[in-house]
A and B are shown apart, each in its own frame.
Chain A
Amino acid sequence: MLLPGLIYYIVFKYIPMYGVIIAFKDFNMMDGIWSSPWASPWNKHFLTFFHSPYFSQLLTNTFLISVYKLLFGMIPPIAMALLLNECRIRWFRSLIQTLTYMPHFLSWVIIYGILLALLSQSSGLLNQWLKDAGGTAVPFLTSTSYFRSILVGSEIWQNLGWGAIIYLAAIAGIDPTLYEAARVDGAGRLRMIWHITLPGIRTVVIMLLILNLGHILDAGFEQIYIMYNIQVYAVADILDTWVFRTGLQQLNFSLASAVGLFKAAIGLVLVLGSNKLARRWGEGIW
């Protein structure tokens, strides 16, 4: 029964892991993975990358975009969950939930289209407003000063409602007698949020935060690849997009694999490390 699945895992997951050895070789298509000559020195491609001007730029971009998404992306869903929880009108609550979950299912291509409609320099809604108000059009999508905000903003828009689900679940798990006791003691709604609801979801918040730390080098390939353009490479190019261009468009397989391996290795360390941290915190809190 396991056989088809195992074959899948071996072919598409484990053979590529073996394939990373091309990061240590001077790979060429003719000879294939096994017969391509070893690079000399063995870490040649890594050195090339470390010494290239891309290195610090890519790392900074990847790191910054991730951290911004983490910092600004976590609070809105928590606030959303609190608000939904406080909402007493059932039909309205489920209506808002339905509406705010929806963007989660739209692809990044669609979201990029929406951004174009709102922000494009020639006919975007925002720029029309600016022009009507006597200002000049701003090239939001091709300007280095706005690009990261747009990335983070569109991600928040996409995930606002969906991200709230897990916090709502955590809130639902809070013992209702706590609220009754607080009400008897004369606590208002804000006090109850502050002293019962927020501490009640604290473990979930910290757990998610730490788990997200493990993926800090991911930054969201598809979103960036779809939205970026040559004018904003300086602030938008991340490890994954660079690997994609170098490997598949310039056919520099070994160098691209080396960078991919570098990223995967650091990612592994971060995931394992943050998992350990999560466990320690999980015990430390309660």
Chain B
Amino acid sequence: MVKSTNDRIANAVVFIILLVCGLVAVFPLLYVLSVSLTPFSEVLKNGGFILVPRSITFDAYHKLLMESNIPRAFGVTVLVTVIGTILNMVITALMAYPLSRKQLPGRNLFLMMVVFTLLFSGGIIPTYLVVKSIGLLDSIWAMILPNLVWSFNVLIMKSFYESLPEELFESARIDGAKEFRILLQIVAPLSVPVTLTIGLFYMVGHWNEFFQAIMYVTDRTLFPLQVVVREILIQTQQPLENADNMTPSETLQMASVILASLPIIMVYPFLQKHFTKGMLLGSVKG
């Protein structure tokens, strides 16, 4: 096929617009990174525009790691993410598997129960009172249990399980396998892609957790990363407890932003494909 000039122009236009979109997506982060590495006086001198820092300093990172709550908060967030994601996955699978089996008695009622929570909720105050009354306030469980299962993920997993051939289950049953065994040894290995996707969704959710932490946690030693970073961001005058520090605040603020987003950005390229797959799974089947 011969390429017409028109086609070539169109290709070029598409190319340029997409390039701009790509730059718009990454530029802000690169800028933040550059600010975090540059001495503050330089930031001001250069009119702020420095994508490649002229002089680099790790002062801000050093300060954050030695003198702030960031390392502790990092630990809290990792703990919540690991425990939370594992529990999320186990309970979601245990919920989705029975719901995917047509022979479950009361299946429609249970399904209704799950779907209804997507439409209506008691609201934040009554939920807070429940969390308070079972004594979860000020514990890391307050950041895990109230959001243990996302109904939407149950529905995605359920529809995936339903797409597995029925004969598989029948033959397993004839061989004498009970439901737990079927789930563990037959269904689980077949559903690695969907499990991975949903696990990643839960994981990012925990890493970015903010809402439950500000609702249920007042003990400063249990603050997760996002909460601590926001505190650093809104304290413009004295970023840390000791007021005599020499590193001006914006460099510190941006360093904290980079520290909190680094893990996500580092694992992101490897996970991206799975996310896309999962999103499509959810949208086509959900």
Chain B contact residues: helix, strand, loop or mixed = helix
Tell me whether B245 is interfacial, beta carbon within 8 Å: no
Write the chain B residue with the least CB distance to A106: B261
Give the residue among A1, A14, A122 with the most B Cβ atoms within 10 A.
Answer: A1
Q: Which of B154, B254, B260, B265 contacts A109 (CB 8 A)?
A: B260
Chain A contact residues: helix, strand, loop or mixed = helix
Q: How far is the CA of A190 from the CA of B261 in the complex (A)?
A: 40
Query: Is there contact, CB below 8 Å, between B264 and A105?
Result: yes
Give the residue among B15, B98, B123 with the most A Cβ atoms within 10 A.
Answer: B123
Q: How far is the CA of A267 from the CA of B272 in the complex (A)?
A: 33
Interfacial chain A residues near B250, Cβ < 8 Å: 116-117, 120, 122-123
Query: Is there contact, CB below 8 Å, between A102 and B26?
Result: yes
Tell me whether B108 is interfacial, beta carbon within 8 Å: no
Query: Is there contact, CB below 8 Å, between B15 and A87?
Result: yes
Query: Is there contact, CB below 8 Å, between A109 and B146?
Result: no
B186 to chain A, nearest CB (A): 15
Tell me whether A83 is interfacial, beta carbon within 8 Å: yes
Query: Is there contact, CB below 8 Å, between B18 and A4?
Result: no
User: Considering the complex of A and B, which 5 residue pairs feature the smallest CB-CB distances, nearest first?
Assistant: A16-B122, A260-B123, A19-B126, A113-B257, A5-B95
Give 7 new A-B contacts, CB below 8 A, not counting A8-B145, A13-B117, A157-B25.
Answer: A5-B94, A19-B129, A80-B21, A110-B257, A122-B236, A248-B124, A264-B121
Interfacial chain A residues near B21, Cβ < 8 Å: 80, 83, 96, 99-100, 160-161
Interfacial chain B residues near A261, Cβ < 8 Å: 123
* Chain A, interface residues (CB within 8 Å), range: 35 or more
Q: Which residues of chain B have a CB within 8 Å of any CB of chain A?
A: 6-7, 10-11, 14-15, 17-19, 21-22, 24-26, 28-29, 31-32, 35, 40, 43-44, 47-49, 91-92, 94-95, 97-99, 110, 113-114, 117, 119-131, 134, 145-146, 148-149, 154, 179-180, 183, 204, 207-208, 210-211, 214-215, 226-227, 229-230, 233-234, 236, 250, 253-254, 256-257, 260-261, 264-265, 268-269, 272, 275-276, 279-280, 283-284
Q: Which residues of chain A have a CB within 8 Å of any CB of chain B?
A: 1-2, 4-6, 8-9, 11-20, 22, 33, 80, 83-84, 86-89, 92-93, 95-103, 105-110, 112-114, 116-118, 120, 122-125, 128-129, 131-132, 157, 160-162, 165-166, 169, 188-190, 221-222, 225-226, 229, 240, 243-244, 247-248, 253, 256-257, 260-261, 263-264, 267-268, 271-272
Query: Is there contact, CB below 8 Å, between B253 and A1?
Result: no
Query: Is there contact, CB below 8 Å, between A19 and B208?
Result: no
Query: Is there contact, CB below 8 Å, between A99 and B22?
Result: yes
Interfacial chain A residues near B49, Cβ < 8 Å: 125, 128-129
Query: Is there contact, CB below 8 Å, between B48 and A15?
Result: no
B100 to chain A, nearest CB (A): 11
Query: Is there contact, CB below 8 Å, between B47 and A96?
Result: no
Query: Is there contact, CB below 8 Å, between B121 and A9?
Result: no
